[in-house]
Amino acid sequence: MEYKPEAIAESHNTGLVPTVCQLCSGNCGLHLHLDGGKIVKVTGIKEHPVNKGRLCPKALAVPELVYSGERLRHPLKRDGSSWKEITWDEALDTVASRLETVRKEHGPRSLAVTFGMSFLTQGIATIDLIRRFTDVYGTPNVFSVDSMCYRSRLIGYILTGGKYYVADPENSRCILLWGNNPEASCPPVAWRIAEARKRGAALLVIDPRQTPLAKKADIHLQPRPGTDGALALGIIHTIIQEELFDRDFVSRWASGLEELKTHAASYSPEKTEAVTGVPAEKVRELARAFASKKPACIVQGTNTLDQQPDGVQNSRSVAILQALTGNLDIPGGFISPPRLLMRSLRLPELLVEPPLGIEKFPLFYEVMGRNFGECQAMLLPDTILSGKPYPVKAMVVTASNPLVTWPDSTRVRQALEKLDFLVVMDMFMTETAKLAHIVLPAASFAERLNIVDMFRISPGLPYVMLRQPAVKITDCRSDMDFWLELAHRMGYREHFPWESLEEVFDYMLEPAELSVESLKKHPAGLYYGKTRTRDYEKKGFHTPSGKIELYSDTLLGMGHEPLPLHREDPRQAPGAAGGGNFPLLLTTGARNLAYLHSQFHAVPRLRKLAPEAVAEVNSETAARFGLADGEECLLETVKGSIKVRIKAGGGIIPGVVQMSHGWPEANVNLLTSLEPADPVTGNPALKVLPCRLRKAA
């Protein structure tokens, strides 16, 4: 759609600046309204295909966020127990010389670089530029939140269907929300579901909590957290036993049906009920409903099924269900939008040493020829603390707050405190930044140029748009500016010949026959391609067999289960409930619409929407522990204890506690563990932890 806004801000003083929101993974198109050089208002771009003019409350808070009095405005250097303001020149020279020293004294691998979810929403260009820097420096030790976010899903889908798929609820007749509450975590998906519902689509939900969407659903199953693997097998069992699968599609395009049949035969809904707590009849009902309407899609939580000991296998089950019902690679089922053909900035050939942990979790690093170029972050804190297998002495944290968002905050703190040199680039003095030697003030998304490709997260569109800078705040810089300038100061100009970010973007965009200038002519963005479906008819699936691999020889060959399996942890078995030291199950991290992880808690407009951290429990469970709604209690696991207010009622199943992460004053990650839980990828088990509740003294 051609878009001609009447009043694009000519001088960036007054008028509208089009940009892409970065306050969650939704990628909504925004107009920042400028008056006298200040952002005074935010509206949604009507012509933008992701949000079609709509917004969520976070975007309305952009002015408060950008002009917050709490913003870091200058680089800071630790001076004993206080901070000294320094210039960018001094900051860059200090970082360059300290990183050079670390490299000389301990080797290049002793530098770790980590980035957060905000970096992922900033897009490929930023991540690629950092990775080019680490390639030239010589460290393979790059980490991101993907270690605990959706990497296991990615790998599960690729192992099964050869590609990364996204659900297409917009065109679906049956939507299964599995551990996902998009009204909080991705409103653009919720808007699409609402529209599909109006057209008569069925809605099925699998969630231990009764979310508002679950309340309105046709079927709602409430499994015990962490038992999704068993539930999936019960559903697969029913679909196969009752011959509800798409026989033509499966016989032509899938391998391993016989093995799956035999395997699933022993997972009757009755057996499933014993593990998950979901009545057998409801398992059958959901299986029949899902298999009977086409197209159908499973919109799985972005990390819910990943943050379990069965991380990869859970997503294999999801992909298998799409395949069994003939819903893979069709509109309204799973689709695979193309990504923008951008030139990669990576120079991996310069790396001579293997990344940390590759021998433990090889598939986390590379699967079927796809190299992710990142290490499993759960291994980093112990490596820093033990110095084994080699010392990691310096770290740059950029757009992340690992002290609050990574599991086991106590251990993460110990590790960060042990570093010789820690640099944190952020917009605010976060808990992590407080531990740094150098803190760098980052520009917010409203202050910088970037390219955003929207293929990646559901709704998954082959659409690209510039994130345009609207304002400048004192000394704040874009992250890419920092890394480009640091590369120059370290003498890497040969590999970083660019003088400006525009030049970097133009270099990357060349294969797509685009440039910053040409993208400016499409201020609301443009489609760069079409999502093709039924691609397999021409080329087969991108797996070793060319078919969908219900049975995975790749997994078997690497010593893993070739078929999805649920591994019961004895501490979490139903028999354990009511007894033992930790009789309840804790699931963490259900999203709150007002916040993004540890962000925005200090924005008054947003804080009003969710004023404090709460532990959600069923009224019966609260009563069992002598606790009333609104009362303060101690929530405890083997790792520690935090004080938090109880929110009783609201339809969560008995025996379960849900608490969101990101609250420094009630940090649930003091209770979680870095221990890699999934045998394939090492993702942690943040959705399933034995816990208990006590009255606060």
Ligand X SMILES: Nc1nc2c(c(=O)[nH]1)N[C@H]1C(S)=C(S)[C@@H](COP(=O)(O)OP(=O)(O)OC[C@H]3O[C@@H](n4cnc5c(=O)[nH]c(N)nc54)[C@H](O)[C@@H]3O)O[C@H]1N2
How far is Cα 219 from Cα 209, in angstroms, rounded to an integer?
A: 13
Tokens of 382: 């112990």
How far is Cα 224 from Cα 228, in angstroms, rounded to an integer?
A: 8
Q: Binding partner of residue 184 among ligand X, ligand SF4, Mo ion, none, CB under 5 to 8 Å per kind?
A: ligand X
Q: Report the amino acid identity of residue 484.
A: L
Interface region with Mo ion, contact rule CB under 5 A, candidates 28-36, 146-154, 293-301, 329-337? 146-154
**Using rule CB under 5 A, residue 21 touches Mo ion:** no
**Using rule CB under 6 A, residue 24 touches ligand SF4:** yes
One residue of 59, 235, 363, 461 binding ligand SF4 per CB under 6 A? 59
One residue of 134, 147, 180, 637 binding ligand X per CB under 6 A? 180
CB of 59 to ligand SF4, least distance (A): 4
Using CB under 6 A as the binding rule, the residues of this chain from 111 to 130 that contact ligand X are: 116-118, 122
Q: For residue 608, how many C-alpha atoms fall within 13 Å in the half-sphere facing its CB?
A: 5
**Using rule CB under 6 A, residue 23 touches ligand SF4:** yes
**Which residue has tokens 């345009």?**
468
Closest CA to 484 of 308, 606, 361, 345: 345
The DSSP result for 489-500, as a single string, is HTT-TTT---SS
**Which residue has tokens 């599995």?**
178
- Binding characters for ligand X, 61-100, by CB under 6 A (x = yes): ----------------------------------------
3-state secondary structure of 396: strand
Helices (H), 512-660: 516-520, 536-539, 553-557, 604-607, 619-624
The DSSP result for 312-335, as a single string, is HHHHHHHHHHHHHTT-BSSTTSEE
How far is Cα 633 from Cα 655, in angstroms, rounded to an integer?
A: 16
Closest CA to 37 of 19, 11, 59: 11
Q: Does residue 389 have a cis bond before it (omega within 30 degrees)?
A: yes
How far is Cα 222 from Cα 162, in angstroms, rounded to an integer?
A: 31
Q: Where are the beta strands (DSSP E) in 179-214?
A: 202-206
Q: Binding partner of residue 55 among ligand X, ligand SF4, Mo ion, none, CB under 5 to 8 Å per kind?
A: ligand SF4
Q: Binding partner of residue 317 among Mo ion, ligand X, ligand SF4, none, CB under 5 to 8 Å per kind?
A: none
3-state secondary structure of 66: helix
Strand order in the sheet with 15-20: 15-20, 29-35, 38-44
Chain centroid, CA 181 distance in Å = 14
Interface region with Mo ion, contact rule CB under 5 A, candidates 145-153, 412-420, 447-455, 547-555? 145-153
One residue of 172, 255, 276, 304 binding ligand X per CB under 6 A? 304
CB count within 10 Å of CB 362 equals 13
254-265: burial string, b at 16+ Cβ within 10 Å, e else:
bbbbeebeebbe
Interface region with ligand X, contact rule CB under 6 A, candidates 103-111, 175-183, 340-348, 382-390? 175-183
**Using rule CB under 6 A, residue 187 touches ligand SF4:** yes
**Using rule CB under 6 A, residue 26 touches ligand SF4:** yes
Please answer whether residues 657 and 635 qualify as being in contact, where contact means their C-beta atoms are separated by less than 8 angstroms: yes
- Binding characters for ligand X, 563-592, by CB under 6 A (x = yes): ------------------------xxxxxx
Please answer whether residues 660 and 644 qualify as being in contact, where contact means their C-beta atoms are separated by less than 8 angstroms: no
Largest CA distance in the chain: 70
Q: Binding partner of residue 172 among Mo ion, ligand X, ligand SF4, none, CB under 5 to 8 Å per kind?
A: none
Which residue has its beta carbon closest to ligand X?
A: 589
Tokens of 284: 């059958």
One residue of 149, 233, 404, 446 binding Mo ion per CB under 5 A? 149
Interface region with Mo ion, contact rule CB under 5 A, candidates 16-24, 149-157, 186-194, 251-259? 149-157
Closest CA to 85 of 94, 77, 95: 77
3-state secondary structure of 4: coil
One residue of 202, 392, 399, 487 binding ligand X per CB under 6 A? 399
Cα 213–Cα 218–Cα 220 angle in degrees, nearest 5:
65
Question: Looking at beta carbons only, is 229 or 589 nearer to ligand SF4?
Answer: 589
Interface region with ligand X, contact rule CB under 6 A, candidates 180-188, 349-357, 377-385, 530-538? 180-188
- Binding characters for ligand X, 194-213, by CB under 6 A (x = yes): ------------xxxx-x--
How far is Cα 380 from Cα 397, in angstroms, rounded to an integer?
A: 13
**Using rule CB under 6 A, residue 317 touches ligand X:** no
Question: Looking at beta carbons only, is 373 or 662 nearer to Mo ion?
Answer: 662
Question: Looking at beta carbons only, is 45 or 99 nearer to ligand SF4?
Answer: 45
Interface region with ligand SF4, contact rule CB under 6 A, candidates 23-31, 91-99, 224-232, 338-346? 23-31
> What does the DSSP 8-state code read for residue 426?
E
Q: Binding partner of residue 28 among ligand X, ligand SF4, Mo ion, none, CB under 5 to 8 Å per kind?
A: ligand SF4
The pairing of strands 584-588 and 689-695 is antiparallel
Q: Binding partner of residue 21 among Mo ion, ligand SF4, ligand X, none, CB under 5 to 8 Å per kind?
A: ligand SF4
**Using rule CB under 6 A, residue 595 touches ligand X:** yes
How far is Cα 430 from Cα 407, in angstroms, rounded to an integer?
A: 16
**Using rule CB under 6 A, residue 425 touches ligand X:** yes
**Using rule CB under 6 A, residue 66 touches ligand SF4:** no
**Using rule CB under 6 A, residue 58 touches ligand SF4:** yes
Question: Looking at beta carbons only, is 149 or 159 nearer to Mo ion?
Answer: 149
Closest CA to 316 of 295, 337, 300, 292: 300
> What does the DSSP 8-state code read for residue 444?
P
Q: Binding partner of residue 401 among ligand X, ligand SF4, Mo ion, none, CB under 5 to 8 Å per kind?
A: ligand X
Question: Looking at beta carbons only, is 116 or 162 nearer to ligand X?
Answer: 116
Question: Looking at beta carbons only, is 48 or 109 nearer to ligand SF4?
Answer: 48
CB of 42 to ligand SF4, least distance (A): 8
Using CB under 6 A as the binding rule, the residues of this chain from 139 to 168 that contact ligand X are: 145, 148-149
Which residues sit at the interface with Mo ion, rule CB under 5 A?
Answer: 149
Which residues sit at the interface with ligand SF4, rule CB under 6 A?
Answer: 21, 23-24, 26-28, 51, 55-56, 58-59, 187
Which residues sit at the interface with ligand X, rule CB under 6 A?
Answer: 24-25, 116-118, 122, 145, 148-149, 178-182, 184-186, 206-209, 211, 223, 225-226, 228, 301-304, 307, 398-402, 405, 425-428, 430, 442, 445, 479, 587-593, 595-599, 658, 661-662, 668-669, 672, 686-687
